[in-house]
Every structure is written in structure tokens, then in C-alpha cells.
């Protein structure tokens, strides 16, 4: 029998009960309970024991680490597997071994079933819980795994559930509803996350709020098909979890083979959604591969030139970019063989001599001579049938042969998927990309992925799992071969922003929408998991190409400052006033990014649905920047006061409205803190009483910079 185990770190505790047989159940996951000894854990178990009710099973009323039928679990089993078509119901013999102050490795075997299950459970930096499993076939006949999922319990007081959906240019749209009864599943079946991906599922005690209340959240670090699950059952503890969605026949284990699940990340907080985000951000920033250098101001050329590549024009654009303060110049789609539109060329990663007769070397050299990094766009996992590689190797297309070409229109932008699990296709792609990175001195790759995987067949079996792992290997190989190379994950915008791909890449393109009104919410919910330095947020032209909405430049600038900033704009088209304003913006970004990309992100709770308020507070609370923006007209003539959460009530702060984003325009009178010289205000007033907001117009933003005095 294993002893009970207590894991504690950064305000979070997880307690595993002793188990005479089977996997240990989880007694508690949530608020830190202090340094409990064996007697304290025994008291916890006794204090939380259930009363057995008539008509209920005696087993598994707590949530085991892998709840299943053989535990008497009435919800969705966390493991479903068969051997030679026969169901497996493991009776585990488990050992728990500490592997760190807040980590354990659990090894469970069932000799009769011929299975070994290895579980890693860790509380990482910031209190983020990491959980994954590995299942090994120790028997003779093949084992087919239908699913293997990560599950943790949440309190019965978690009576609301929030899930995410969305669409292109409107990613990460949350929907909150009462916690559903029974076992429920939310799936994504696009072969990538998708714009409507579950992203995060969180349970809350009452309606979720930004700064208060208990929240339990799960995110799966996997860049393809996923399932998020909840189980609220009458005789069991409530469970929250996630796992990879695999197709029938996709995971088949011969003797000695193993299947390792993607890591599930669980975040608990008793101070609302900002507490959940802070755990993710702290853990992300603690990783050795997390970007350590200042995030450069970027110009990406897509909305500047689209497919209309002209060397002289792009050189002029590079010079203008350097003049206003850009630090990274990225050449987007259109530079390679046959690529005059989106119907040809994918898969042939060679420079088109018809457009670039001297190659890309002159542009790359100019960019570097101007003090900027040179970046290049690729869509490595895709292929057009009108390409040399597809003509030479039609068997490298990852698809049902009956759908290539597809009379039903199942291609997207006339592109298909290149089978990276095919070693020859993998090496072809790696070699072409690596050659260009080396020859051109590429510092940054914008890595795009513009379509779903449909009927993804590899060697006669479902191939999404193998394709995803191959894409990971390719990214890993390129970064190993070219130290310092940075990669952005773009997938028609924000359709692949999970922590699986972010373990390898350096930022994401949050959305193809540069409409700053839409971006207010897209970026807010992206940073529920990702720290702002990893979220690409660019100033685009007005009107926005994705919505047709016209917005003032100050508003676009304020929205861009909430992430890793840049431009998606033909700066040559800017007039003198706009050029002066974006030059000031570049200087402001460089001044503030040390704070914006290291501080704690806060979202003060507001009443007016038109308000979007976001702040970043330094770790020592000596400085903060808050953005106040509107997405519509305010409901009341006298707006609410703005509570500046996160500041030190014992200090005084100088309140300064930064005019670099553009001149303010007020609907009525101007509050004193917005007029004249910066105002010094006690922190207790700012956090307890707040600043009276002005009568902001629709689609208006104010940038407030606070410094302790």
C-alpha cells in the first residue's frame, strides 16, 4: 500500500490518497493547505469522506488518476483500450515515487492485462499542474487505444462551466453556462486546433470573474484533434480533463510499444481568471527556451503587398520600416516558385527567379544593413498539386486518394497536406528550408498552416497523430540546426496556439483579424494561457481588411501595445502625420516593453459591457500600464470608476496619460487626472476608490502609465 502524498508549490496543493490497490485517488487539488503531515492528511480524508447513499456503488466516489469502469466509475472512463478486439479492464498495482519537491512518477502494472501505465504528475512554477500518461503494451497481441485522458477533480461548488469556440478572424469566443449534469465531451476534429478549438475549459464557483472567485481550468498541449471533458455525477466527485482525440485504428501498440499522451495543464486560482492566467504565465516564463531578448517591433509584408512582390518596392518599404523604428522585417507569402496567387507553388520552397532574378539575398542583406532582422514566411505542412514536388511525388499528399483532386472542394485555397510522416517528404522539406535559413541568414520564420486535415490517411491508417509529431520534429530539427532561429505559429491566424506547438515556437499570430475592436477580445482570451510577449499584435491599416471597419490610429496602437507589437501595413502609404505617430509608437513600445512583457497581467472587473480594461503591473509594483478602451458606446453618461488592481495601496503613484498613442478626444468634460501635468494619487485611492473615467467615445482608448513616487 502506498502512503498518501502531498505536493505543494506556489499556493497550490495536490493530495493523493493512500491506495491498497489501483491508482491513488486525488483527495484534493486546489488551494494550498499548508505543510500537512500524515495525521493531517488522514484527517483531511476523514473530514471529506462521503456518506454512502442507497442505490450507489461503493467504489470510486473519489476521482482516481485514471478513472475507469474497473473502479466502479460511472462517468466517462479516462482509458479505453482493446486487445485483439476484446475490452481491457485493468486492475492496477501502482507505486508512487517522488521525483522532486512537487512531482511524482506513478508506475502501474497489470500483468494479466499485459499493460504498464506511467504517469507524471507535477506542480510546476507558478502552481501550474502538469499531467501526462504513457501506456505500454507488455503483452503479445496488438493493443488499440481509443483514448487516454488526463483528469483531475474539482469542487462540487463549481457550478458553472466556460468553454471556447469561434471562427476565422474571431477566435477564442467564450460561452458560460451552468455546469452540465452527467458526462459531457467537447471535441475538435480539424487536424489542427481550429478557430473553434476548445482552447481552455474552466469550471467556476458562480459566474467567472477576472479578479475574484475560485476557478479550475484545463488546457491540452496538443496541436491537433482534442477532447475536453467534464463529469458531474450524482455519486462521484466532479471531474475536469482533456486528451487527444484519436481516430479508430490510429494508435495501435505492438508488443513493447508505447503511447504517450500530450501534457494536460491544470490551473487553479482563488482570485479569478487573472489568477489562472498568472499560473500559466509564470510557468511559461520559467522555461529555459522562453524568449529572453526584448521582443522586436515587427513589420510583416502581407497586408502591405499581398502577392504583388516587387524588389524595388519592398526595398523602399524596408527603408521606411527602419526609419520609423522597425526591428524585424518579415517577407510574407509570394516569394517562391509559381506563387503569383494561392493556387500554386506550395511545396517548392525555392525563390522564384521571375520575380526575384537576383534571389532574396539583396533584400536580406539590405534589411540587415538597416539594423533589422530578416524573416520569411513558409507554409511547410502544405502542398499545391500545381507544384513540382506534387507532380514528382503524388504519394506524398496526406489524404484519401479518392479526394485528390477533390471534386467536392475539400481542398482549401487549392492546397493539400504534405505527409511529413513520410521520411522522404520530411527530408525534402527540411533540406529546402534549412538551405534558405543558412543562405539568407533568416532569423525568424512565420510558420503558417492554412487548412484543416480531412481524411488524413498515412500508410492506410489515420495519420493526424503521426503528422503532428512529425511537424514537431521538423521544428525541433530546424531550431537545433540553426541556433537562435525564432518561429511564429500562425494557422489562418489563431487556429494553432496551444502549448504543444508553443513548447517549440516563440510566439503566435493571434488572428488574421487586424480589426482592433475584434482584437480586444481575441487577445484578452489568448492571454488566458499565453503571456503577452508571445502574442503577435500588429497595427494594420484602416479600414481593416478582415471586417471593413474603420478605426482611429491611436486605438490601433493601443491594441497593438497589448502584445508583441508590430505592423501589418504598407508604411509607404502613410501620410506625414501617420508616419510621425507610428514613429512615436515605436519609441513608446521600446520604452515600455520591458514592463509589458514581464509584469503581471490584470483585468479589473467592470460593469459596462462596452469597456475593455487591461493592465500590466511590475513584479515589485513600482510601475504599471493600463489600457482603457471601448468597443461600443458607454451605457451611462457618468461612467464607472476604474479600480487599478495590482498596485501597492501603501505607495503613491504618478498618473500619466501617454499622449504618444495620439491626442485624446473626450465626449464631455475632462477629469482632473487627464488634464495638465501628471497627478500623484495614493495607491489606496487607486485600488480602493478608483479613477473617474471620462465619457469615452466608441472605439477610443486611453493609455495610463503609473510610476511609484
3-state secondary structure of 345: coil
C-alpha cell at 150: 488526463
CB 269 within 8 A of CB 214: yes
- How far apart are alpha carbons 248 and 269 in whole angstroms? 37
Strand 115-123 relative to strand 129-137: parallel, antiparallel, unpaired?
antiparallel
* Active-site residue, 196 included: no
C-alpha cell at 556: 490601433
- Beta carbons within 10 angstroms of residue 641's beta carbon: 13
- Beta carbons within 10 angstroms of residue 694's beta carbon: 21
DSSP 8-state secondary structure symbol assigned to residue 48? T
- How far apart are alpha carbons 469 and 492 in whole angstroms? 20
* Active-site residue, 274 included: no
C-alpha cell at 561: 501595445
C-alpha cell at 436: 534558405
CA 604 to chain centroid, in Å, comes to 22
Q: Which residues on adjacent β-strands are paired with residue 612?
A: 629
CA 405 to chain centroid, in Å, comes to 33
For 685, residues 6+ apart whose C-beta sits below 8 A from its C-beta are none
Q: Which of 110, 225, 274, 512 is catalytic?
A: 512
For 401, residues 6+ apart whose C-beta sits below 8 A from its C-beta are 457
3-state secondary structure of 578: helix
Q: Which residues on adjacent β-strands are paired with residue 170?
A: 167
Q: Which of 448, 498, 506, 515 is catalytic?
A: 448
- How far apart are alpha carbons 536 and 513 in whole angstroms? 11
For 630, residues 6+ apart whose C-beta sits below 8 A from its C-beta are 610, 611, 612, 696, 697, 698, 699, 700, 701
* Residue of 416, 399, 408, 418 lying closest to 456 (CA atoms): 399
- How far apart are alpha carbons 560 and 554 in whole angstroms? 10
Q: Catalytic residues, which ones?
A: 448, 512
Amino acid at each position: 500500500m502506498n502512503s498518501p502524498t502531498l505536493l505543494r508549490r506556489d499556493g497550490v496543493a495536490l493530495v493523493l490518497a493512500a491506495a491498497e490497490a489501483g491508482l491513488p485517488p486525488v483527495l484534493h487539488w486546489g488551494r494550498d493547505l499548508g505543510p500537512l503531515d500524515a495525521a493531517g492528511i488522514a484527517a483531511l480524508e476523514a473530514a471529506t469522506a462521503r456518506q454512502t447513499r442507497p442505490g450507489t456503488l461503493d467504489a470510486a466516489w473519489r476521482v482516481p488518476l485514471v478513472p475507469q469502469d474497473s473502479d466502479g466509475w460511472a462517468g466517462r472512463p479516462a482509458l479505453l483500450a482493446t486487445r485483439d478486439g476484446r475490452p481491457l479492464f485493468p486492475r492496477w498495482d501502482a507505486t508512487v515515487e517522488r521525483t522532486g519537491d512537487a512531482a511524482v512518477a506513478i508506475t502501474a502494472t497489470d500483468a494479466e492485462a499485459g499493460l504498464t501505465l506511467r504517469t507524471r504528475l507535477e506542480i510546476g512554477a507558478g502552481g501550474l499542474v502538469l499531467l501526462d500518461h504513457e501506456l505500454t503494451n507488455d503483452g503479445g497481441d496488438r493493443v488499440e487505444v481509443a483514448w487516454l485522458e488526463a483528469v483531475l477533480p474539482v469542487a462540487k461548488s463549481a457550478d458553472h462551466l466556460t468553454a471556447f469556440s469561434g471562427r476565422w478572424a474571431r477566435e477564442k469566443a467564450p460561452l458560460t453556462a451552468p455546469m452540465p449534469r452527467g458526462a459531457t465531451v467537447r471535441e475538435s476534429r480539424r487536424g489542427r486546433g481550429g478557430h473553434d478549438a476548445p482552447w481552455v475549459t474552466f469550471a467556476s464557483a458562480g459566474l467567472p470573474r477576472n479578479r475574484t472567485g475560485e476557478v479550475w481550468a484545463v488546457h491540452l498541449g496538443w496541436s491537433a484533434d482534442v477532447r475536453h471533458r467534464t463529469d458531474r455525477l450524482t455519486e462521484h466527485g466532479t471531474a475536469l480533463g482533456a486528451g487527444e482525440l484519436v481516430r479508430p485504428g490510429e494508435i495501435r501498440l505492438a508488443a513493447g510499444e508505447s503511447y504517450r499522451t500530450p501534457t494536460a495543464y491544470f490551473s487553479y486560482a482563488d482570485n479569478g481568471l487573472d489568477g489562472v492566467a498568472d499560473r500559466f504565465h509564470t510557468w511559461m516564463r520559467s522555461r529555459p527556451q522562453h524568449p529572453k531578448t526584448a521582443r522586436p517591433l515587427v513589420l510583416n509584408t502581407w497586408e502591405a503587398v499581398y502577392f504583388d512582390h516587387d524588389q524595388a518596392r519592398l526595398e523602399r518599404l524596408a527603408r521606411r520600416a527602419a526609419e520609423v523604428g522597425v526591428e524585424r522585417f518579415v517577407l510574407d507569402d509570394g516569394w517562391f516558385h509559381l506563387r503569383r496567387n494561392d493556387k500554386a507553388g506550395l511545396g517548392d520552397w525555392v525563390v522564384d527567379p521571375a520575380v526575384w532574378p537576383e534571389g532574396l539575398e539583396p533584400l536580406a542583406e539590405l534589411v540587415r544593413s538597416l539594423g533589422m532582422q530578416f524573416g520569411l514566411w513558409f507554409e511547410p505542412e502544405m502542398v499545391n498539386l500545381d507544384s513540382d514536388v506534387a507532380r514528382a511525388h503524388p504519394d506524398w499528399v496526406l489524404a484519401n486518394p479518392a479526394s485528390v483532386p477533390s471534386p467536392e472542394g475539400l481542398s482549401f485555397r487549392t492546397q493539400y497536406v504534405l505527409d511529413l510522416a513520410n521520411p522522404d517528404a520530411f527530408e525534402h522539406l527540411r533540406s529546402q528550408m534549412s538551405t534558405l535559413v543558412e543562405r539568407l541568414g533568416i532569423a525568424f520564420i512565420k510558420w503558417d498552416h492554412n487548412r484543416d486535415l480531412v481524411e488524413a490517411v498515412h500508410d492506410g491508417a489515420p495519420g493526424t497523430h503521426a503528422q503532428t509529431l512529425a511537424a514537431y520534429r521538423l521544428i525541433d530539427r530546424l531550431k537545433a540546426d540553426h541556433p537562435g532561429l525564432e518561429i511564429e505559429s500562425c494557422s489562418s491566424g489563431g487556429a494553432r496556439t496551444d502549448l504543444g506547438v508553443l513548447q517549440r515556437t516563440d510566439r503566435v499570430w493571434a488572428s488574421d483579424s487586424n480589426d482592433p475592436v475584434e482584437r480586444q477580445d481575441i487577445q484578452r482570451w489568448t492571454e488566458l494561457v499565453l503571456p503577452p510577449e508571445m502574442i503577435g499584435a500588429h497595427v494594420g491599416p484602416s479600414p481593416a481588411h478582415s471586417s471593413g471597419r474603420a478605426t482611429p490610429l491611436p486605438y490601433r496602437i493601443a491594441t497593438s501595445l497589448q502584445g508583441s507589437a508590430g505592423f501589418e501595413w504598407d508604411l509607404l502609404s502613410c501620410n506625414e502625420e501617420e508616419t510621425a505617430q507610428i514613429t512615436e509608437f515605436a519609441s513608446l513600445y521600446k520604452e515600455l516593453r520591458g514592463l509589458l512583457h514581464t509584469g503581471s497581467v490584470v483585468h479589473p472587473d467592470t460593469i459596462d459591457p462596452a469597456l475593455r480594461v487591461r493592465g500590466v503591473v511590475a513584479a515589485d509594483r513600482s510601475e504599471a500600464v493600463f489600457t482603457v478602451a471601448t468597443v461600443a458606446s458607454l451605457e451611462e453618461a457618468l461612467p464607472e470608476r476604474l479600480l487599478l488592481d495590482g498596485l501597492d495601496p501603501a505607495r503613491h503613484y504618478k498618473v500619466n496619460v501617454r499622449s504618444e498613442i495620439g491626442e485624446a478626444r473626450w465626449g464631455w468634460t475632462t477629469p482632473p487626472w487627464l488634464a495638465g501635468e501628471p497627478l500623484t494619487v495614493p495607491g489606496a485611492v487607486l485600488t480602493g476608490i478608483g479613477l473617474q473615467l471620462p465619457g469615452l467615445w466608441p472605439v477610443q482608448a486611453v493609455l495610463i502609465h503609473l510610476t511609484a513616487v
